[in-house]
A and B are shown apart, each in its own frame.
Chain A
Amino acid sequence: MTLLDFARGPALQWSLIILVIGVMWRIAGALLIMAKKDLSKPRRKTAVRDGLTTIATRSLPEHQFEKKIRLQHYSGYTWHITLFISVLFFAPHILFFESILGFGWPHLPNDVILVTAAIALAILLALVIRRASHPVQRLISNADDYISVVVVIVPLVTGILASAHIGARYETLLAIHLLTVEALFVWFPFGKLMHAALTFPSRFQAGAAFGRKGVKA
């Protein structure tokens, strides 16, 4: 079996299974570990609107902190958005999703994807270097922080190299890219990357809980 066959076959199979089991485990567990039943009288009929509002309001920083965290805030949004564009709208990726989900969607031109991927990579590299060199950041960062960001940077690098056919024979580059993505799948449920699945439910839950008490969260 060649490296590429392994990456497209057993490695993909098991990394996806680990991803799905891990994510479902954590979400199901989190949903069921509920707080004590709230015996007070609810202030509103339904707290759904409060939940949704909180998702939106917590996506923007508190105005008193805005100036200090502006760099982190906007660079964070930028690299997330450019990364999602690169992952979701590159034609070969859509074919990959189609083979698993059964459906695809329209793609963007390759040049656009190269630009978005390059922007995401540049920002991520800048941020991880900052994390490692800034005294406060370094103090509060742990292994999870570094692993989570590296496991996202490496697929970006290998993907750009594979797409540009630089560094090795194409089948090797493609195999390495797939393996780095599968490493991300395997790490995803166990570290900080789970925020992708937990952030919005978590904000909703906070908003709903406070809304029930009649408090704006």
Chain B
Amino acid sequence: MRKDQTLGEYLHAQGVSRRGFLKFCSAIASLMALPPSAVSQVAEALAVARRPSVIWLSFQECTGCTESLTRSHAPTVESLIFDAISLDYHHTLQAAAGEGAEAARMAAMQESPGEYLLVVEGSIPIGNPGYSTIAGMSNVDMLMETAANAAAIIAVGTCASFGGIPHASPNPTGAVPVSEIVSNKPIINISGCPPIPVVITGVLAHYLTFGTIPDLDALGRPLAFFGQNIHDRCYRRPFYERGQFAHTFDDEGARKGWCLYELGCKGPTTYNACATLKWNEGTSFPIGSGHGCLGCSEPNFWDKGSFYTPISAGLWGSREALIGAAAAGAALGIGSALAARASKKKAQAEEEAKSS
């Protein structure tokens, strides 16, 4: 697809009819959680949308986010969005390597300054920048260099959004999220470990359609996908309301599909679209398959106690400390009582001495 082609021209050249284009726009609107009445607006916008250049940087990551995005069967309607962008730099997907790859990155930055999208996957180590380098350049330097002229930054995955696994205690590499390094560019955090693939493409679709970044919540995540918590959209919610919980993973409650609160489900405090969009093209999501939500789209989810500790349980419960406190309290009590008795005896003795 030529860079100066609009998306509408591109699809037409591919032999997609207007009906097919409308079907494409309906799916995109549904993806972006827009009402069906917005389809015509989406169609108008996409018909004239130009292909943005996208530079995808891979830092301290497991590549799960890229895998999540590219594992969906091609060609899906969503993957057409991916085709619609000009992916000028991506370690896993690009054909070029070595010097050629870095040259492609510099070329993309110079060709459309102020217009290209920067996608970041993975956290950035600043404890010692040498922990993660590409072509001899540290991640933090590459991020600063590439972000300088980017239109916006999309931090894909919990690692790029909040630090993720590398950031988990004791954070040996000093890993930080994108937002702690770049402060003068709009940053969209698409968290999740990994994020749901349609959420990634949905944000790209929003940018293609409207040319702006979507509305974000307090943690910088698109409200369309992260505005509701799992608990509020979970189909097992009626069981929670009635107090019907599974106690183990294979008891009767588990087999009947009861609420997984007691097995550590973090649904009530986790904001993501898993309960409605689901995974693997709508097949299921962790709770639907019988395992509690891990809270993978929230900051520091690795450091919030066990995945199997219920939300209402404390993060601190040391029997030794409490026994120690009881002993200390008893000692204080005994000590103060003995002191009181001693002073009482002394007062009595003084009185007897006075009277005699």
Check if A and B associate. Answer: yes
Chain A interface (Cβ < 8 Å from any Cβ of B): 2, 4-5, 8-10, 12-13, 16-17, 20-33, 91-93, 95-96, 98-100, 102, 107-111, 113, 165, 169-171, 174
- Return the 4 tightest CB-CB contacts between A and B, nearest first: A28-B333, A24-B329, A32-B337, A99-B313
How far does the Cβ of B261 sit from chain A's closest Cβ, in whole Å? Answer: 7
Q: Assuming the A-B contacts A21-B328, A23-B329, A92-B312, are A28 and B337 also in contact, with contact meaning beta carbons closer than 8 angstroms in the complex?
A: yes
Residue of A nearest to B344 (CB): A33
Cα of A98 to Cα of B243 in the assembled complex, Å: 17
A interface footprint on B316-341 (CB within 8 Å = 1, 0 otherwise): 11110110011111111110111011
Among A31, A93, A99, A174, find the residue whose CB has the most chain B CB atoms closer than 10 A.
A99
Query: Is B53 on the interface with A (CB-CB < 8 A)?
Result: no
Residue of B nearest to A23 (CB): B329
Cα of A96 to Cα of B116 in the assembled complex, Å: 50
Chain B interface (Cβ < 8 Å from any Cβ of A): 229, 231-232, 241-243, 245, 261-262, 268-269, 299-300, 304-305, 309-319, 321-322, 325-334, 336-338, 340-341
Query: What are 12 inter-chain pairs, A to B, with CB distance below 8 A?
Result: A12-B315, A20-B325, A24-B327, A26-B333, A28-B332, A28-B334, A28-B337, A29-B336, A31-B337, A32-B333, A95-B312, A99-B313
Which of A8, A29, A92, A96 touches B333 (beta carbons < 8 Å)?
A29
Number of A-B contacts (CB under 8 A): 126
Tell me which residues across on chain A come within 8 A of B319, comparing CB atoms. 100, 102
Tell me which residues across on chain B come within 8 A of A16, comparing CB atoms. 322, 325
How far does the Cβ of B271 sit from chain A's closest Cβ, in whole Å? Answer: 9
By the criterion CB–CB under 8 Å, are A110 and B315 in contact?
Answer: no
Tell me which residues across on chain A come within 8 A of B312, comparing CB atoms. 92-93, 95-96, 174
By the criterion CB–CB under 8 Å, are A25 and B329 in contact?
Answer: yes
Which of A5, A33, A99 touches B317 (beta carbons < 8 Å)?
A99
Tell me which residues across on chain B come within 8 A of A102, comparing CB atoms. 319
Q: Assuming the A-B contacts A24-B329, A29-B336, A33-B341, are A91 and B268 also in contact, with contact meaning beta carbons closer than 8 angstroms in the complex?
A: no
Tell me which residues across on chain A come within 8 A of B268, comparing CB atoms. 170-171, 174
By the criterion CB–CB under 8 Å, are B243 and A107 in contact?
Answer: yes
Q: Assuming the A-B contacts A4-B269, A108-B243, are A98 and B333 also in contact, with contact meaning beta carbons closer than 8 angstroms in the complex?
A: no
By the criterion CB–CB under 8 Å, are B333 and A17 in contact?
Answer: no
By the criterion CB–CB under 8 Å, are A91 and B329 in contact?
Answer: no
How far does the Cβ of B328 sit from chain A's closest Cβ, in whole Å? Answer: 6
By the criterion CB–CB under 8 Å, are A20 and B269 in contact?
Answer: no
Tell me which residues across on chain A come within 8 A of B243, comparing CB atoms. 91, 107-111, 113
How far does the Cβ of B260 sit from chain A's closest Cβ, in whole Å? Answer: 12
Residue of A nearest to B305 (CB): A8
Cα of A170 to Cα of B269 in the assembled complex, Å: 6
Residue of A nearest to B218 (CB): A169
Residue of A nearest to B313 (CB): A99
Tell me which residues across on chain B come within 8 A of A108, comparing CB atoms. 243
Tell me which residues across on chain B come within 8 A of A107, comparing CB atoms. 243
Tell me which residues across on chain A come within 8 A of B269, comparing CB atoms. 4, 170-171, 174
Q: Assuming the A-B contacts A32-B333, A107-B243, A171-B269, are A20 and B326 also in contact, with contact meaning beta carbons closer than 8 angstroms in the complex?
A: yes
Cα of A5 to Cα of B330 in the assembled complex, Å: 30
By the criterion CB–CB under 8 Å, are A25 and B242 in contact?
Answer: no
By the criterion CB–CB under 8 Å, are B334 and A110 in contact?
Answer: no
By the criterion CB–CB under 8 Å, are B341 and A32 in contact?
Answer: yes
Which of A22, A26, A29, A170 touches B229 (beta carbons < 8 Å)?
A170
Cα of A4 to Cα of B337 in the assembled complex, Å: 39
Which of B245, B314, B322, B338 touches A99 (beta carbons < 8 Å)?
B314
Cα of A29 to Cα of B327 in the assembled complex, Å: 13
By the criterion CB–CB under 8 Å, are B315 and A5 in contact?
Answer: yes
Residue of B nearest to A164 (CB): B241
Tell me which residues across on chain B come within 8 A of A13, comparing CB atoms. 316, 318, 321
Which of B300, B304, B314 touches A12 (beta carbons < 8 Å)?
B314
By the criterion CB–CB under 8 Å, are B315 and A9 in contact?
Answer: yes
